[in-house]
């Protein structure tokens, strides 16, 4: 199982990267850090700088077809920057177009909204995104983890770091299933 982790050069919530990364590794998978720039990604522990992580691939160098699934970690600044980068938005949209599963936690659904893949789907997020998701045509729910099969692929979402255990278990199970395309 080869899994893309998409993030901006700065602003990812560290635990929302490291816990899912470890879950993929522990399951025998290959996590790949994809970013909009080469170099290193600066993670945060809420508002404080945390560790940096090496970028494996730049978003323009890869396509959704190279992966079995996509994880979108949160943090506020990370998805806010990603949704302004057309190559990142196109990369995310590519997973939906090819029927590959996507997992997003916390504020990461902002990128899904920008990719125009929320309409008609049920999902959860950090509570402050409720109105954004509703305005984009999605149905927001306050659940630890929400798995939506309304389209050809699975969309797995969670609210916050407290939900990480359930989030990781859910996306690993979905990523292990055969791709729809």
Residues with catalytic function: 106-107
- Residue whose C-alpha is closest to residue 8's, from 45, 38, 46, 48: 38
Q: CB within 8 A of 22, min separation 6: which ones?
A: none
Q: Produce one character per residue of 94-119: b if its CB has 16 or more CB atoms within 10 Å, e if not.
A: bbbbbebbbbbbbbbbbbbbbbebbe
C-alpha torsion 8→145→180→117, nearest 10: -50
């Amino acid at each position: 199982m080869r899994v893309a982790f998409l993030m901006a050069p700065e602003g990812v919530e560290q635990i929302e990267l490291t816990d899912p990364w470890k879950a993929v590794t522990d399951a025998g998978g290959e996590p790949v850090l994809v970013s909009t720039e080469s170099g290193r990604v600066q993670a945060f522990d809420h508002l404080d700088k945390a560790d940096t992580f090496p970028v494996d691939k730049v978003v323009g160098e890869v396509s959704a077809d190279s992966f079995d699934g996509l994880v979108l970690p949160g943090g506020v600044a990370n998805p806010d920057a990603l949704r302004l980068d057309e190559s990142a938005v196109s990369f995310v949209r590519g997973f939906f177009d090819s029927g590959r599963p996507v997992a997003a936690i916390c504020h990461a659904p902002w990128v899904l909204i920008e990719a125009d893949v929320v309409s008609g789907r049920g999902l959860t997020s950090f509570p402050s995104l409720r109105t954004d998701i509703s305005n984009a045509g999605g149905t927001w729910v306050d659940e630890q983890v929400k798995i939506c099969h309304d389209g050809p692929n699975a969309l797995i979402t969670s609210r916050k770091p407290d939900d990480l255990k359930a989030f990781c278990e859910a996306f690993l199970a979905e990523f292990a299933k055969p791709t729809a395309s």
